[in-house]
Structure 1
Amino acid sequence: MPLSHVSKLYSVQDAKIAALTADPATGSPTYGALIDVPGIQTMEISGDIETKTLRGDNVKLATNSSLTNIQVKIDHAKVSLDVLMAILGGTVTDSGTTPAQKSVWDLTSTTATLPPFKLEGVTPPNGVDVVGGDLHWTLHKLTLSAFPDLGFAQEDFRVVSFTADADPLLSNGKWISATINETAAAIA
């Protein structure tokens, strides 16, 4: 008997991104190494639908709708230079020796490439109706739609966030996938 197609969604336990390195019109997409989105707090998915109405003879004759956008907003507790490089571009350079090590993310006019990336988030085990199971949301091809919220907050923690728009993959047309697992699985 297949799993139920209906479930609660409780919390988000992990999220990872990976650079989209190839999306051939025939074949399969390829991705770079997974990068942890540290301290994931929220993963909000929304979309836009454009509706056209045909009228004539003083009545509504037909309505057609088209999906025009899928967007995701991520809030996470810690800044990651590797995530910034994956979603904005730029370079990360490590230098020095203890006690004077440095890691520097630089974004320049030539390295601000806004590369496409995949995002996958997952509930904790038992975050769905299936005991011991989980749910993964995967957005297969994203590009930032606004500069990330970065910086500091006076006498408080600063939450980092970003918003990205989805495009369908050229190779298979996928925009978004939801996978309910009977047994919880790590993002792979």
Structure 2
Amino acid sequence: MPISRVTKVYAIKDAKISPLTADPAGGTATYGTAIDVPGIKSLEISGDVETKQLRGDNTLLASNSTISNIQVAVTHAKLSLDVLAAILGGEVTDSGTTPAQKSVWDLTGDGATLPPFKIEGVTPAGGVDLVGGDLHVVLHKVSLAGFPDLGFAEEDYRIASFTANAEPLLANDKWVSIVLNETAAAIA
């Protein structure tokens, strides 16, 4: 007997992004190494539906609706230079020796590529109705919809965030997958 398809969704424990390295039509999408989104606070999905109506004879004759946009909004507590490079482009370089080590993310005109990436978030074990189970949300191909919220805040922590628009993979036409696991599984 299959597990229930209905569950509560409580909290977010982890999120990772993976650069999309290939998306061949009718083939298999491939991704680079997963990068942790540190201090994940929320991953919210929204979308737009466009409806067209056919009217005639002073009445509604037909109506069709299509998904015109799926968007994800992500907030996270810690800034990651590797995440910035994966979602905006640019390059991270490390230099120096202790006590003068540095990591620098540089974004240049040529390096600001806004590359596509996958994002996956997961609840903690027990964040669903299945004891010991979890729920994963995967957006298979997204690109930034605007520049990330970065910077500083007076006498407070600065929370980083970004929004991205999803599109279907050429490989298999997938936009979003929601996976309910009977046994909790780490993000691959």
Instruction: Give the letter aligned to residue 60 of structure 2.
Output: K
Which residue number corresponds to residue 2 of structure 1?
Answer: 2
Alignment-derived partner of residue 165 in structure 1: 165
- Give me the whole-angstrom Cα distance separating, in 1, the residues matched to 2:66 and 2:2: 31
Report the 3-state secondary structure (helix = DSSP H, G, I; strand = E; otherwise coil) of the residue aligned with 2:10: coil
Residue deviations 1:103-149 (CA, integer Å, cap 9, x gap): 00000000000000000000000000111000000000000000000
Alignment-derived partner of residue 66 in structure 2: 66
Deviations 1:2-57 (A, max 9, x none): 01111100000000000000000121000000000000000000001000011111
Q: Which runs of 5+ in 2 are unaligned?
A: none
Report the count of equivalent residues: 188
% identical equivalent positions: 70
Alpha-carbon offset, residue 61 of structure 1: 1.1
1:86-101 equivalence runs, <5 A: 86-101=86-101
Per-residue deviation, 1:100: 0.1
Give CA deviations for 1:139-163 in whole Å, capped at 9, x if unaligned.
0000000000000000000000000
Q: Secondary structure at the match of 1:85?
A: helix
Per the alignment, residue 148 of structure 1 pairs with 148
Aligned amino acid, residue 173 of structure 2: G
Over residues 73-129 of structure 1, what are the superposed CA-to-partner deviations in whole Å (9 max), with x where a residue is unaligned? Answer: 000000000000000000000000000000000000000000000000000000001
Query: What TM-score do you get using the length of structure 1 for normalisation?
Result: 0.99
Matching residue's letter, 1:103: S
Provide runs of 4+ in structure 1 moved above 4 Å.
Answer: none
Q: Which amino acid aligns with 2:73?
A: K
RMSD of equivalent CA atoms: 0.4
Aligned counterpart, 1:181? 181
